[in-house]
Structure 1
Amino acid sequence: MPTTRSALMVAATAAMLAGCAKPPEAPPPSSSAYRVYVTNEASGDMSVIDSATMNVIATVPLGKRPRGIHASPDGKTIYVALSGSPIAGPGMDESTLPPPDKSADGIGVFDVKQNKLVRVIHSGSDPENFDISKDGKRLYVSNEDVAGVSVLDLEHEKVIATLQTGEEPEGVRISPDGRWVFVTSEDAGTIAVVDTAANKVVNSFKVGRRPRSIAFLPDSATAWVNAENDGTVVLVDAVKHTVVDTVQLGERGVVKPMAVLLSPDASTLYVSTGRGKKVFILDVATRKVQASIEVGQRPWGIALSPDGKTLYSANGPSNDISVVDLATRQVSQKVKLTGSPWGVITLEQ
């Protein structure tokens, strides 16, 4: 008769052997310094890319029309703008489109550790883009179809104010000092200026035709804005709310500036150009074009690696993302994704 101790040993050995007989678990994703997250507007999901291998390690369902994407200050959460409004190009007769699904509108909350969408927060009608306060407590969300911006209290997950901007608001950016929020109006060609302390629009000024994106300089005194239909980027005085300079990137209607993005040291401005197929590189000090790189079909959202050495561009029609080595200013590879990549961020793990 075996002793209790020997019986336990026999049981443990049997369990170990049984465990060895099980098929091995899939290996964990390759470890890397950061990951690349891309929203896919048409397929309603987000691609997660390991930067060490440039392999897509996950494709996560989000909801309808995921577009704007930003991470929380602590990097634990990714927020994504979701919209039930049908996709419509400029000048399209909206009466020919199916009705919007308002139940799909909101800000998706993606838990980075769990690698999944955990909930959707109501954030006003047809959210397209947004920005997050430095303390991570508020989101400012552009509501495209109602010409407004919603102020979302993240702690209580409720909209505390809805402010009127120009028609078709898209780009939203908080100044580095946290005092102002700039919101672009594609239709009016203006920037609405929101006072964050008062939660009110205090000014509006012209910047050019179809502005979509804003990049503040670190001192909050100036900002770059695209003017898509003018083929330009515009430097504005963020205090006086006036245009300081306009830089022509190319022929109007051919080069269509979309997203503007500053390098970590704010010395270089990167500009995607949609149907122009290129990303332009500008020297901020001289306001001169240094180079342009053809990256793919209709590059829209762009992002930099944390070290600023690699640029990623989301190319909608070709369903891929381009990886640009900024030292050589060449596309080093393209990564195939799903339906119409729109926004992109990088996030250290």
Structure 2
Amino acid sequence: MRKILVLPLVVAALLVPSSVAATPVGRPVALVTAETANEVIAVSLSPHGGRIVRRIHLVDPLMIAAPLHGPAVVVSPKGAVTLLALRSLRPIKVFRAFRSPKVAAIAPDGRLAYVTDERTGDLSVIDLPHRRIVGRVFVGALAHHFGISPDGSRIWVALG
């Protein structure tokens, strides 16, 4: 009985996208990280979707976050944060100034991305239109998951 219940949960977990973007022709895709395959996979969300439309090779992609417009942010615990062009899904910038980045999220207005670094305890702020890190603040050891208020004025960071 347990095996039957676990399998659908595992399958559902594998199919839940990390983020949603659009292809060059404007069709929506789910962006999914495949850590062991070292890929970000774009899966079609069209009515007859479920088809892989692109594979992007990146070392150990842990998490991805994407705004409606602008680059997607891919976090690798190996110390890199990569920006992917939203339409082409090609890397356009790699930040290597991280020790152990964990979680990325996009501000409600889509202009800023936030990334926690578990090893340094920092929360970094990336200006997406200008493709640069514009701030870093120490929030505490083992900075991990976080939430952003709907208006983007506050961020709560979980430690540990």
Q: Does 1:227 align with 2:159?
A: yes
Q: Does 1:195 align with 2:142?
A: no
Q: Percent identity?
A: 19
Question: SS in structure 2 opposite 1:161?
Answer: strand
Question: SS in structure 1 opposite 2:12?
Answer: strand
Residue 12 of structure 2 corresponds to which residue in structure 1? 47
On the 8 A contact 1:107/1:123 being kept in 2, the answer is yes
Deviation of the 1:77 alpha carbon: 2.5
Deviation of the 1:205 alpha carbon: 1.3
On the 8 A contact 2:146/2:157 being kept in 1, the answer is yes
Residue 150 of structure 1 corresponds to which residue in structure 2? 82
Residue 111 of structure 1 corresponds to which residue in structure 2? 44
Deviation of the 1:204 alpha carbon: 1.4
Residue 83 of structure 1 corresponds to which residue in structure 2? 35
Alignment of 1:150-299 (within 5 A): 150-228=82-160
Candidates 64, 69, 72, aligned match of 2:18:
69
On the 8 A contact 1:150/1:163 being kept in 2, the answer is yes
Question: SS in structure 1 opposite 2:74?
Answer: strand
On the 8 A contact 1:182/1:192 being kept in 2, the answer is yes
Counterparts in 2 of 1:76 and 1:220: CA distance versus 1, 3 Å: same
Question: SS in structure 2 opposite 1:154?
Answer: coil
On the 8 A contact 2:41/2:55 being kept in 1, the answer is yes
On the 8 A contact 2:41/2:56 being kept in 1, the answer is no
Q: Deviations over 1:37-96 (max 9, x none)?
A: 97x5xxxxx428xxxxxxxxxx86xxxxxx972234899432111112xxxxxxxxxxxx
Alignment partners' CA distance in 1, 2:97 and 2:55: 22
Deviation of the 1:132 alpha carbon: 0.7
Counterparts in 2 of 1:204 and 1:120: CA distance versus 1, 3 Å: same
Aligned residues: 149
Alignment partners' CA distance in 1, 2:85 and 2:147: 23
Candidates 122, 127, 130, aligned match of 2:64:
130
TM-score normalised per structure 2: 0.78
Deviation of the 1:159 alpha carbon: 0.2
Q: Deviations over 1:213-251 (max 9, x none)?
A: 2221122111111112xxxxxxxxxxxxxxxxxxxxxxx
Candidates 68, 74, 77, aligned match of 1:141:
74
Q: Which runs of 5+ in 1 are unaligned?
A: 1-36, 41-45, 49-58, 61-66, 85-103, 229-349
Counterparts in 2 of 1:217 and 1:72: CA distance versus 1, 3 Å: same
- RMSD (Å) for aligned C-alpha atoms: 2.8
> Which letter maps to 2:18?
I
Question: SS in structure 2 opposite 1:47?
Answer: helix
On the 8 A contact 1:125/1:144 being kept in 2, the answer is no
Deviation of the 1:110 alpha carbon: 2.0
Counterparts in 2 of 1:201 and 1:151: CA distance versus 1, 3 Å: same
Alignment partners' CA distance in 2, 1:175 and 1:152: 17
Alignment partners' CA distance in 2, 1:68 and 1:203: 28
Q: Which runs of 5+ in 2 are unaligned?
A: 1-7
> Which letter maps to 1:130?
I
On the 8 A contact 2:71/2:128 being kept in 1, the answer is no
Q: Deviations over 1:121-166 (max 9, x none)?
A: 325321101111123x521110211x12100013122100001342
On the 8 A contact 2:121/2:140 being kept in 1, the answer is yes
Alignment partners' CA distance in 2, 1:210 and 1:117: 37
TM-score normalised per structure 1: 0.38
